[in-house]
């Protein structure tokens, strides 16, 4: 049964519209949230669609964990890095912030902290914390401001100093969200006292045992977008918080795949906010929750599909390596290169291979001398050669 959107029912059957609203608002399992959405108290119900989506997501996540468990170390490490770069790049793309995969990749390297003090660095390092499964406090307005400062403040101020937060935690003045035609489609909550009050209520959901964690993530994503606590950078902040919470509830790779899914469904993403904000929707957040849970399911399903294909290819090419090469150490190098080429972003240098095998660089060079040129593809990382496997050679 498709969940009926109240704002649509208003035009179809006014009498049923009022009955449906009261039925939902007064429902035994309805969750009431003391945040006003265009004059109506926000609430969430648990229709069949929500229950089914939650079930599907946990089931798909269980399958994803099994697939990831089967991955060898290099494959998992490189695939995680690739997903992380995708998430940062696409979150920026959604906001029209220019970034390249190469610069993001460079900022993710361990030595980056000593080399970078530039745009995007805070954003990249914050996402890197997710990959390291570090704990990030999201319990108070101060925590949200601290995340914002680390994530986007430097870039927001560089772009326009007028957008620097000027309140205790957030903004003092009003702010409007414009559509592609420059029309105002939403006014953020104002004044700051109300922003603080609403954000406090929003964050309480994280510790509410009466609400499923996936529903909590969807609701928080909506409320941050609705409240719009800062002048600029809200979208990137919102997606980062959702990614972090998802990485705690499901396999962390799901948290690194949210922006990819949203970017593919960007019109539906904006539509979900618009229809939930509609005054005639009377504070019913459930339609947004359903759509956002759908995004999460798509993210998990897409990861499962990609990994199933990658694992099948890995097994195929591993057999090809075993068939074509007899020397064990040479096989080891080719197996590493094969994993990296299938799951990674760029080729491996001799130094990278030496680190992985825990041997010296001269030892790796000796191994490489036993590998025919036709088995490899060579590119450049700076002044150094980087190696990928030539899949065509091992396809026969």
pLDDT of residue 246: 94
**pLDDT value for 374:** 92
User: Is the residue at 41 inside a domain?
Assistant: no
- Choose between 178 and 70: higher pLDDT: 70
pLDDT of residue 114: 47
Mean pLDDT of 133-158: 91
Q: Answer whether 242's CB lies under 8 Å from 219's CB.
A: no
Residues 211 and 333 in one domain: no
Query: Is residue 22's pLDDT more than 80?
Result: yes
Please give the pLDDT value at position 125. Answer: 74
Instruction: Examine the domain organization and report whether 277 and 377 are in the same domain.
Output: no
Asked if 356 and 235 sit in the same domain, the reply is no
Instruction: Please indicate, yes or no, if residue 148 is contained in any of the structural domains.
Output: yes
Same domain, 200 and 265: yes
User: Domain of 379?
Assistant: 326-394
Mean pLDDT (the chain) is 90
Q: 340 near 317, Cβ under 8 Å?
A: no
- Mean predicted confidence (pLDDT) in 271-288: 94
In a domain, 364, yes or no: yes
Task: Give the CATH number, domain containing residue 189.
Answer: 1.10.3290.10
In a domain, residue 311? The reply is: no
Are the C-beta atoms of 165 and 230 separated by less than 8 Å? yes
Q: How confident is the model over 364-384, as a mean pLDDT?
A: 89
Q: What is the mean pLDDT of residues 209-235?
A: 95
pLDDT of res. 108: 75
Domain termination residue (choose one: 305, 339, 363): 305
Please indicate, yes or no, if residue 349 is contained in any of the structural domains.
Answer: yes
Share of the chain above pLDDT 90, in %: 64
Q: Is the pLDDT of residue 185 over 90?
A: no
In the predicted model, what is the mean pLDDT of residues 117-143?
79
Residue 319 lies in a domain: no
How far is residue 265 from each of residues 57, 253, 259, measured CA to CA in Å? 18, 19, 10
Whole-number Å distance between alpha carbons of 122 and 154: 8
Instruction: Please report the pLDDT score of residue 388 as a whole number.
Output: 94
Question: What integer pLDDT is reported at residue 350 of this predicted model?
Answer: 93
- Residue with the two structure tokens 């904006």: 270
Q: Quick one: pLDDT at residue 93?
A: 86
* C-alpha–C-alpha distance, residues 44 and 288, integer Å: 10
Do 300 and 331 reside in the same domain of the chain? no
List all residues 6 or more positions away from 205 whose beta carbon is below 8 Å from its beta carbon. Answer: 33, 211, 216, 219, 220
**pLDDT for 130 beyond 80:** no
Q: Give 197-243 as a DSSP string.
A: HHHHHHHHGGG-TTS-HHHHHHHHHHHHHHH--SSS-HHHHHHHHHH
Q: How many domains does the chain have?
A: 2
pLDDT at 111: 59
Determine the Cα–Cα distance for residues 174 and 123; give it in Å rounded to an integer: 25
* Shared domain check, 131 and 71: yes
Residue 94 pLDDT grade (very low, low, confident, very high; cuts 50, 70, 90):
confident
Together in a domain, 130 and 189: yes
List for the chain the helix, strand, coil content (%; round to 5): 65, 10, 25
Question: Mean pLDDT, to the nearest integer, of 257-267?
Answer: 90
CATH number for 355: 1.10.10.10
Whether residues 127 and 211 fall in one domain: yes
What is the percent of the chain where pLDDT is above 70? 95
* Same domain flag for 265 and 354: no
Segment among 24-28, 122-126, 259-263 with least mean pLDDT = 122-126
- Judge if 215 and 265 occupy the same domain: yes
Does pTM top 0.85 for this prediction?
yes
Mean pLDDT of 235-259: 92
Last residue of a domain, one of 237, 270, 305: 305
Please tell me whether residues 348 and 287 are part of one structural domain. no
pLDDT tens track for 1-18: 589 899 889 988 888 999
Q: Residue 242: which of 227, 224, 228 has the closest Cα?
A: 224
Identify whether residues 349 and 233 lie together within a single domain: no
> Does any domain span residue 17?
no
Residue 290 lies in a domain: yes
pLDDT: which is higher, 111 or 86? 86
């Amino acid at each position: 049964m498709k969940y009926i959107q109240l704002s649509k029912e208003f035009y179809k059957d006014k009498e049923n519209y009022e009955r449906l609203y009261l039925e939902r608002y007064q429902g035994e399992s309805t969750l009431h949230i003391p945040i006003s959405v265009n004059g109506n108290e926000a609430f969430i119900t648990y229709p069949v669609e929500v229950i089914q989506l939650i079930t599907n997501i946990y089931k798909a996540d269980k399958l994803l964990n099994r697939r990831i468990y089967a991955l060898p170390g290099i494959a998992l490490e490189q695939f995680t890095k690739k997903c992380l770069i995708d998430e940062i790049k696409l979150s920026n793309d959604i906001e029209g912030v220019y970034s390249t995969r190469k610069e993001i990749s460079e900022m993710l390297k361990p030595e980056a902290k000593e080399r970078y003090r530039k745009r995007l660095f805070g954003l990249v390092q914050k996402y890197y914390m997710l990959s390291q499964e570090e704990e990030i406090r999201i319990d108070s307005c101060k925590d949200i401001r601290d995340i914002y400062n680390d994530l986007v403040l430097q870039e927001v101020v560089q772009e326009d100093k007028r957008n620097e937060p000027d309140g205790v935690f957030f903004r003092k003045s009003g702010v409007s969200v414009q559509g592609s035609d420059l029309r105002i489609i939403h006014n953020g909550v104002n004044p700051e006292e109300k922003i603080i009050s609403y954000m406090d209520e929003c964050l309480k959901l994280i510790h509410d045992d009466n609400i499923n964690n996936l529903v909590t993530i969807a609701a928080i994503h909506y409320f941050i977008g609705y409240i719009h606590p800062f002048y600029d950078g809200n979208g990137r902040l919102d997606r980062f918080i959702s990614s972090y919470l998802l990485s705690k509830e499901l396999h962390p790779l799901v948290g690194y795949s949210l922006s990819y899914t949203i970017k593919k469904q960007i019109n539906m993403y904006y539509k979900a906010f618009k229809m939930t904000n509609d005054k005639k929707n009377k504070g019913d957040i459930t339609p947004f929750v359903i759509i956002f849970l759908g995004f999460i399911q798509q993210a998990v399903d897409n990861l499962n599909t990609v990994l199933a294909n990658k694992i099948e290819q890995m097994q195929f090419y591993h057999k090809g390596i075993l068939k074509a090469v007899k020397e064990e150490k040479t096989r080891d190098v080719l197996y590493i290169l094969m994993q990296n080429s299938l799951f990674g972003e760029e080729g491996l240098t001799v130094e990278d291979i030496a680190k992985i095998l825990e041997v010296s660089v001269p030892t790796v060079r000796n191994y490489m001398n036993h590998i025919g040129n036709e088995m490899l593809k060579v590119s450049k990382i700076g002044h150094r050669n980087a190696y990928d496997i030539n899949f065509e050679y091992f396809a026969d």
